[in-house]
Structure 1
Amino acid sequence: MGSAVERTDEHVREYLIYRGFTSTLKHLDADVKADKEKGFRVDKIIDQLQLFIHNFDLNGLKDYWSYLDRRLFCRLEDVYRPTVNKLRTSLFRYYLVHTVQSRNPEKTQEFFQRQAQELQVQPEWRDWFVLPFIPAPEQNPAFAPYFSRQWMDTFLVSLHNFLSVLFQCMHILFFDSEVQRTASLQEENEQLRQILFALQGEVNLKKEDTVHHKLPPYVQNMDRLGDTELDLVTCQRNPTLTTTPSRNFFSTFLPQTRRAPGKTPQGVLPGSLPHPAYVGRKDTTAIQSVKPKDPTVSKDPKPMPSTGGTCEPQAGSTAYPRQRRHQDHEKERKELFSKPQSQIPEKRVECGDPEASPEGGTGGLTDSPPLNQTRVSREGGGVAGGLAVEQPFIKLSQEEYGEHHSSIMHCRVDCSGRRVASLDVDGVIKVWSFNPVMQTKATIMSKSPLLSLEWAAKPDRLLLLGSGVGTVRLYDTDAKKNLYEMIIDESLPRILSLACSPSGTSFVCSAAAHHGLAGRSGSVSEAVPRLPNPPPVPGQLLLWDTKTVKQQLQFCLEPGPVAINCTSFNHNGNLLVTGAADGVIRLFDMQRYDCAMSWKAHDGEVYSVEFSYDENTVFSIGEDGKFVQWNIHRCGVKQSEHSLPQDATGPFVLSGYSGYRQVQVPRGRLFAFDSEGHHVLTCSSNGGIIHRLNGEGGLDSVLPLGGHKAPVVTVDWCSAMDCGTCLTASMDGKIKLSTLLAQKS
C-alpha cells in the first residue's frame, strides 16, 4: 500500500507540474508532510507512536491513537473491535513500563491521575493502580512479564502485522493490484521466452557438425533471436507480401515495388535506375517492364537480387553465390557513381503502361515528380546520384540538461527509461527525469572520487556507485540515502566498471590498482606519452550478491591479474563479456562462473564492449581506434572491422584560450545500439552520430545529431519509450537529449 501511495503522489506531482499548478503543488507537499497516516507506511506509524512514548507525550499518544481509530479502525467490522481494544491497552501499558524503566515516577502517577476515571471501570486495569507504589515492579510476578524484552517485541510485531493486514484489505488504490499483475505477467513471459530460446538452441545444436569453441551446450545458441526464428522471419519476408527494402546499400536505389519471387522484369538491368519519382514510393502499383534507352546495353540481363530476402531459389542463384552477387552489386554501384550525372541513362516508365515509350519518351510522366512521391533527407543525409535517400530516423527535438559544471564521465538511463544518472569528474551525480518535463530528482555529493556508476535492474530505483577508494555504494534514488557501502579491496582502490545482472540478484565490479600513466584508468589530465610496452595494470573482477551484500566469488583472469575496463551482460545474465587493459576480451559463463573463451582484440586497451542484438556477436572499441565485430561461437574470429576517428574513441581533447588544454580518457559507454540493433550511436567532436550497420563490416553515417560545442565523451540510447531518446554528454558538462522517430518503410 505504501508503494502504491508513493507512486500515486508522484503521478499527481508530475501532473501538477505539467499543468503549471505551482500553488496547488505547494499545498500538496505541505499536506504530505503533515500527513498523520504517513502515506500508509506501517513502519512510520509505529515510529511515530514510539516517539510519543519516548518523549512522555501522553496527550500526543492519545490524540494520535484516537485519530487512527476514527480514520481506520472504525471502518472494521464489530468482530475486530476486541482486537483493537487489546492493542490500545497494550500500547498504554507499554507507555507505563517505559516510564518505570526510565525512573520517572512523576509520569507514572500523572498517567493514572489523568486516566483514572476511564480505566477504573475496565477489569484489565484494576491490578495496575498499585504500580506506582511497588518499589521494584519488574520483580513482581504480576508485572514481570511486561518488563521483558520479549513482550515488548511481541507487542510491536503484533501491532505492525495488524496495521499491514488492515491496509491491504482497505483497497484504497485499486490500480496497485493491476500493477502487480502486470509485473507478474511480464516475468512469466520472460520465463516462457527463455524456455523457447532453449528449445530453439537444442534444435540448432543438432544441425551443427563441429564446435569451434568451448561454450557449454545450453549457451551455444542462447541468443535473443535463435537461428530457427531468424530463418522463419527470413522466409516471411517475401517481396510479394512486403515492400520493406533489404539492408544492403545497393538495394536502396532499386524501385520498392511488388515483384514475383525469383523473376526479373524483362528489360531491366540490376544496375539500371528508375525515375526518381519512384524511389521511396509506398504505393503498391507494379511496374510491368522497363526497356533501356541505350541500344548497346546487353539484352541478357543478370538476375536481380530480391529486395525482400525470400527463401525460394532465384534464377541464377547457382551461378552467382551470395558473396559473388554482393561483389557485382558493389562494382556496379561504384561504376554508376563514377559517371557524371549527364551520362547516367535516364529511364522513365508509366505505371499504367506495360512498356515504356519506344522513342525513349516520358510516356506521359512529367520531368518533375510530385512531392508526395519523393522523400528527401532533411537532416544529416543528402542526395546521392540525384536520388533521394530515405532517412531511418527523424529528429523531433533536442533538449539540454545543464546542471553539471564539469566534464561528464558517465550518463546512463535506467531500465524503465524514466530516469537518468550522470556523473562528472568533480564527483557530482545528478539523477533526473526527462518525461514529461526535465527535472532533477536527486543530487549526490561524494567526498571520495567516483569513477563508475550503474543502475540496478530490480528495483530500478537503486544506483551502484564505484569510488576511487575501494568502495561501492548502493544508493536509493527515491529515499535519497545510501543503503549500503561495500569495501571491495583497499589494495585495489579504483572501481573501474560496474554491471548489474538482469535478474537484479548480483552485480560484478572491476577493481584496479593506481596507474600513474595516462590511460583509461586515469581521470582528466594532461596527456602523457605512452610507453611502447606499458606494464599491465593489476586488477580483479568480483561477483557480489545484491541482497546479502556479500562477495560471492572472484573470477580467474588469465594470463594474469589485469584491470577490467568495461563489462556487459547479455539479456538473461547467462553470459558476461569484459574488455581489459591488456586488449583482451573475455567471455564468462555465469552459470559455471568461469572464462569460456578469451582472445586478443585490440592493440592497446579495450574501451567499450557490448553484445549485439541477436547476441551471436560482440562489438568492441579499443585504443587502436577500431570498431570490431567478433563471433562468440568461434573464438577470436573477426566478422567486421571499421576504423573510427579519434573524436569517437578518445582520448578526448578540449582546447581553449591561453594554451588551456584538457584531455579526458574514455570511461563511459562509447557506443549504443537502437532497439533492433540495426543502428549504432557513437561520439564525435560536436555531437553524436548515428550509423547504419551495413552488413559488410562498415558503418554508414545516416544522421549526425550535433548540438554540442565540446567533444562528446559518452552516449546512451533509450528505446523504452514510444520515441527513442539519444543521450550525448560532452566535456563542458552539457547533456543533449535528442528525441527520434523511426520511419517505417
Structure 2
Amino acid sequence: MAFAVERTDEHVREYLTYRGFTNTLKHLDIEIKADKEKGFRVDKVIDQLLQFIHSFDLLGLKEYWIYLDRRLFSRLEDIYKSTVNKLRTSLYRYYVINTVQKGNLEKTQEFFQKQALELQGQPEWRDWFILPFIPSPEQNPTFSAYFSRQWADIFLVSLHNFLSVLFQFLNCVPPQPVLLSFDAEVQKMMSLVEENEQLRQILFALQTESREQREGEEIVHHKLPAYVQNMDRLGDTELDLVSSQRVVTTATTPSRNFFATLLPQGRRTPGKSQQVSSGSSPNQAAASRKEPTGQPAKSKEAMQTREVKPVVSQTSVIEPVSSQSAATVSNQVTHPRHKKIKDYEKERKELFSKPSPQTPEKKGDAGEVEPPADACSDVTDSSLTSKNGGGAAEGESLSVEQPFIKLSQEEYGEHHSSIMHCRVDCSGRRIASLDVDGVIKVWSFNPIIQTKATIMSKSPLLSLEWATKPDRLLLLGSGVGTVRLYDTDAKKNLYEMNIDETHPRILSLACSPSGSSFVCSAAAVTRPGYVEAAPRLPLPVFGKLLLWDTKTVKQQLQFSLEPDPVAVNCTAFNHNGNLLVTGAADGVIRLFDMQRYDSAMSWRAHDGEVYSVEFSYDENTVFSIGEDGKFIQWNIHKCGVKQSEQVLPNDATGPFVLSGYSGYKQVQVPRGRLFAFDSEGQHVLTCSNSGGIIYRLTNGEPALESVLSLGGHKAPVVTVDWCSAVDCGTCLTASMDGKIKLSTLLAQKC
C-alpha cells in the first residue's frame, strides 16, 4: 500500500505541475511533510515513534499513538484490542527504560507523575512505580530483561510486523480511493498482457503442430494406390495411353476398363465402376481426390476405403451399364451419413412444398407437390394469420407479414386509481408505476410478477424516472417543488432536493445516460394533471428547465427557454447524453446541446401543447405527439422540417376520458409516455381505449401502418412503454382503471 501511495503522490504532483497549479502543489508538499501516517510506510512510522522516545517527548509520543489508534487501530475488530494494548504498554516501557539508560531520572519521574492516573489501575504497571528509586534497576530480576538488547529488538520487530499487516489489511477494506488502485490495475494489466502473450505462443505452437500433423495425414491420405505405383514402371508412353483411354472411357459409355486386361482371367468379376476407374492414372487419381462443388465432403475413412479396396480384392471388372444404372450404383455406394442428409433435405423440401389452404395442389408425373416460390413467407403468414385472428379475404394470397406474435398477456392490478407513469428500468428487470393517488409500486415480471417495494407519498407526485447508473435508483418529482432520490433495493429515500418554491410542479424528469446529472422541468401552479372534466387553459404555463448534479445534489444551471419561460412537459436524452430534446406547453420543440448547455434549435411543432417526444433509432430525427393529435417526425439537421406526419385517433393523444355512473366523467391530461419504440426503431406502440396499438413506421404515405392490436383493457390506456430483448419484447400498457398489462411479443424474422 505504501508503494501505491507513493506512486499516486508522484502522479498527482505531475498532474498539478502539468496544469500549472503551483499553489496547490506547494500546499500538497507541506501537508505530505506533516503527514502523520507517513504515506503508510511502516519504517517511517517507527522512526517517528523512536524520535519521540530518544528526544524524551512524552507528550508527542502520546498524541501520536492516540492519532494512530483513532485513525488506524479503531478499524480493527475487537479481538485485536488486546494486541494493541500490549504494544502500547511495551512502547511506554521502552520509553521509561530509555530514560533510565540515558541517566535522565527527571524524565523517568515525570513519566510516572503524568501517567499515574492512567497506569495505577493496570496490574502490569504495579511493580514499575519503584523503578526511579532502585539504584541499579538493570540488575533487578524484575526489570533486568527489559534492559537487554534482545527485548528491544523483539519489541520493534513485533511493532513493525503488526503495522505491516495492518496497512495491508487497510488496503483491502473499502472505501479505498480509486487513485490508490491505479498501481494495482497497472500490475494486473501487465500480468494479463504477459499471460495473453504466453497463451498466444502456446496456441501458435499447437496450431503449427496441428497443421504439420494434418499435412502429414494428407500426404498419407493422397498416396497413390499400389497398382498405380506399379504402373509407373511401365513408362511415360504407357501412362499416356492409360490417360487417353480413361478420357475416352469417361466421355462415352464404358464398355471395358483398361485395367481389366491387366488382371488374370479367373479373377475378373463385376465390380464398381467408380472405385476402379478412380485409380486408372495418376491424373485421374488426383482428379478423384477433389470433391465436386455443392456435394458434402466425404470422410477420411471413406476415401481410404475407396482407394484400398481394389487392391485387396483385385476383382474389379466393369460391365457395360447405362447412365441410369450408373446413377443407381453411385447412390448405393454413398456414405450412410450422406444418405441421411439427402433424406433430411427431401423431408424439408416436402414440408415447405405443402400448399396453403387456398392454393390447389399441383401434382406432376411422379405425384410430387410443386413447392411455392417463397415457402418461408407463406408459412409465416399463414401461422400469424391463424394466431392473430386476422386473414386475407377468400381467394386472396396471404402476402402481408405480421412482425410480432403475442405470446401472452399478464395483468398487474395492485393500483386502485388511474396510472400516470409506468416505466421499465435500464436493465429491464424492474418496473415503476405511479398512480394519481401518489402510490408508487416497484415490481418485477420475470419469472413472475412480484411487488418489490411500495412507496407512499404525502405530497402529490407528478413525475417519475429511473436513474441510469445505478439503475436501482428512482427519481420522484412532486407537486410541492421537491425531487426525491429513492433506493429501490434499500427501500429508503437517499436525498430530497428542494427545486423551486415558485415553480413547485415537477412535470418531467430525465436522467443522463452517464447517470451524473438529471434534467428537471418545474412549472408554476395551474390545473392539476387529474381533474374532472376541467376545460383546458388557453395560455401556456410558466416554467423552468434545470440541470442537477446527482452526486453533489446541487443545481448546475438553468436552461434558457426562448422566447418565453414556459413549462416543459416532456424531455429525452440521446444515447450518449450530448443532445436533449424537450416538448413544451407552447407547442415548441427545443433541442439543447449538452456540451455547451445551450439551445441548438427550436421550432413550433404542434397547435397546442407537446405531450411526448423521443429520438429516433438513428437519432437523425425526433418524433413528437401533441395536443392537436398529430404524430410527427422532425429532421434535427434541418430546423422545423417534417419528414412525416400522421393524425392519430383521439384516444391515442388525450385528454383521456373515462365515463362513469350518472354522467360522471373522469378526465386525465397526459403525463407519461404516449409512444414507445421497439429495439430496432421500426415499430411504435401507442395508446388506445382498449389497449396498445403497434404501428410499423413507413417512409411513404401513410407514415404509420397498423400491424397489431394488443387489447386487454376496459379503460383508456394513458401511458405505454416497451422493454425489448433479443427476439422477445414486453409491451406495457397502463390504463385509467389502475390496470397494467404486460404483453409478451415474439418478433418474426424469416
Structure 1 length normalisation: TM-score?
A: 0.53
C-alpha separation in 2, matches of 1:352 and 1:718:
53
Distance 1:376 1:492, change over 3 A: closer
Match of 2:464 among 453, 461, 472: 453
Cα deviation, residue 509, structure 1: 0.5
Distance 1:387 1:82, change over 3 A: farther
Describe how 1:491-640 pairs up with structure 2 within 5 A: 491-516=502-527, 522-530=528-536, 534-640=538-644
C-alpha separation in 2, matches of 1:653 and 1:718:
27
C-alpha separation in 1, matches of 2:647 and 2:494:
43
Q: Does the CA contact (< 8 Å) of 2:696 and 2:707 recur in 1? A: yes
Q: Does the CA contact (< 8 Å) of 2:523 and 2:544 recur in 1? A: yes
**AA at the equivalent of 2:494:** L
Cα deviation, residue 622, structure 1: 0.4
Distance 1:121 1:720, change over 3 A: farther
Cα deviation, residue 663, structure 1: 0.7
C-alpha separation in 1, matches of 2:365 and 2:684:
41
Q: Does the CA contact (< 8 Å) of 1:613 and 1:677 recur in 2? A: yes
C-alpha separation in 2, matches of 1:510 and 1:445:
22
SS in 2 for 1:621: strand
C-alpha separation in 2, matches of 1:161 and 1:470:
48
SS in 2 for 1:504: coil
C-alpha separation in 2, matches of 1:89 and 1:681:
76
Q: Indicate yes or no: 2:709 matched with 1:698.
A: no
C-alpha separation in 2, matches of 1:643 and 1:727:
23
SS in 1 for 2:383: coil
Equivalent residue number for residue 416 of structure 1: 427
Cα deviation, residue 530, structure 1: 4.1
Equivalent residue number for residue 387 of structure 1: 397
Match of 1:165 among 158, 161, 172: 172
Cα deviation, residue 377, structure 1: 2.0
SS in 2 for 1:482: strand
Deviations 1:89-119 (A, max 9, x none): 99xxxxxxxxxxxxxxxxxxxx999x967x6
C-alpha separation in 2, matches of 1:502 and 1:84:
51
**AA at the equivalent of 2:637:** H
C-alpha separation in 1, matches of 2:592 and 2:392:
45
SS in 1 for 2:531: coil
Deviations 1:498-547 (A, max 9, x none): 0000011111111111124xxxxx3221223346xx22211110111111
Higher helix proportion (structure 1 or 2): 2
Cα deviation, residue 437, structure 1: 2.0
Distance 1:168 1:651, change over 3 A: closer
Equivalent residue number for residue 114 of structure 2: none
C-alpha separation in 2, matches of 1:471 and 1:401:
29
SS in 2 for 1:478: coil
Equivalent residue number for residue 377 of structure 1: 385
Equivalent residue number for residue 672 of structure 2: 668
Distance 1:85 1:721, change over 3 A: farther
Distance 1:673 1:653, change over 3 A: same
Cα deviation, residue 84, structure 1: 10
Equivalent residue number for residue 714 of structure 1: 719
Identity among equivalent pairs (%): 73
C-alpha separation in 2, matches of 1:540 and 1:411:
24
Distance 1:384 1:551, change over 3 A: same
Gaps of 5+ in 2: 1-73, 92-117, 132-164, 177-183, 189-346, 353-357
Cα deviation, residue 727, structure 1: 0.8
Describe how 1:122-201 pairs up with structure 2 within 5 A: 162=169, 165=172
C-alpha separation in 2, matches of 1:351 and 1:693:
43
SS in 1 for 2:172: helix
Equivalent residue number for residue 728 of structure 1: 733
SS in 2 for 1:579: strand
Cα deviation, residue 168, structure 1: 10
Gaps of 5+ in 1: 1-64, 74-79, 91-110, 127-157, 170-176, 182-281, 288-343, 354-361, 517-521
Equivalent residue number for residue 436 of structure 1: 447
Distance 1:165 1:599, change over 3 A: same
**AA at the equivalent of 1:715:** V
Deviations 1:526-569 (A, max 9, x none): 223346xx222111101111111111111111111101000000
Q: Does the CA contact (< 8 Å) of 1:380 and 1:704 recur in 2? A: no
Match of 1:480 among 488, 491, 502: 491
**AA at the equivalent of 2:549:** D
Distance 1:715 1:372, change over 3 A: closer
**AA at the equivalent of 2:662:** S
Structure 2 length normalisation: TM-score?
A: 0.53
Cα deviation, residue 741, structure 1: 1.4
**AA at the equivalent of 1:706:** G
Describe how 1:89-128 pairs up with structure 2 within 5 A: none
Cα deviation, residue 384, structure 1: 3.1
**AA at the equivalent of 1:401:** Y
Q: Does the CA contact (< 8 Å) of 2:697 and 2:705 recur in 1? A: yes
Q: Does the CA contact (< 8 Å) of 2:349 and 2:371 recur in 1? A: no
Q: Does the CA contact (< 8 Å) of 1:350 and 1:365 recur in 2? A: no
Q: Indicate yes or no: 2:664 matched with 1:657.
A: no
Distance 1:646 1:365, change over 3 A: same
Distance 1:640 1:349, change over 3 A: farther
Distance 1:561 1:163, change over 3 A: same
Cα deviation, residue 365, structure 1: 7.4
C-alpha separation in 1, matches of 2:683 and 2:419:
24
**AA at the equivalent of 1:585:** I
C-alpha separation in 2, matches of 1:458 and 1:365:
54
SS in 2 for 1:528: coil
> Cα RMSD over matched residues?
4.3
Q: Tell which structure's C-alpha radius of gyration is larger.
A: 2
**AA at the equivalent of 2:519:** V
C-alpha separation in 1, matches of 2:412 and 2:723:
16
Cα deviation, residue 667, structure 1: 0.3
Q: Does the CA contact (< 8 Å) of 2:727 and 2:747 recur in 1? A: no
**AA at the equivalent of 1:484:** Y
Q: Does the CA contact (< 8 Å) of 1:683 and 1:713 recur in 2? A: yes
Q: Indicate yes or no: 2:405 matched with 1:426.
A: no
Q: Does the CA contact (< 8 Å) of 1:421 and 1:432 recur in 2? A: yes
Q: Does the CA contact (< 8 Å) of 2:388 and 2:405 recur in 1? A: no
Cα deviation, residue 587, structure 1: 0.5
**AA at the equivalent of 1:392:** P
**AA at the equivalent of 2:508:** S
C-alpha separation in 2, matches of 1:427 and 1:363:
64
Q: Does the CA contact (< 8 Å) of 2:411 and 2:739 recur in 1? A: yes
Equivalent residue number for residue 737 of structure 1: 742
Q: Does the CA contact (< 8 Å) of 1:672 and 1:717 recur in 2? A: yes
Distance 1:348 1:440, change over 3 A: same
C-alpha separation in 2, matches of 1:399 and 1:168:
43
Deviations 1:28-54 (A, max 9, x none): xxxxxxxxxxxxxxxxxxxxxxxxxxx
Distance 1:505 1:365, change over 3 A: closer
Match of 1:646 among 641, 644, 650: 650
C-alpha separation in 2, matches of 1:418 and 1:496:
25
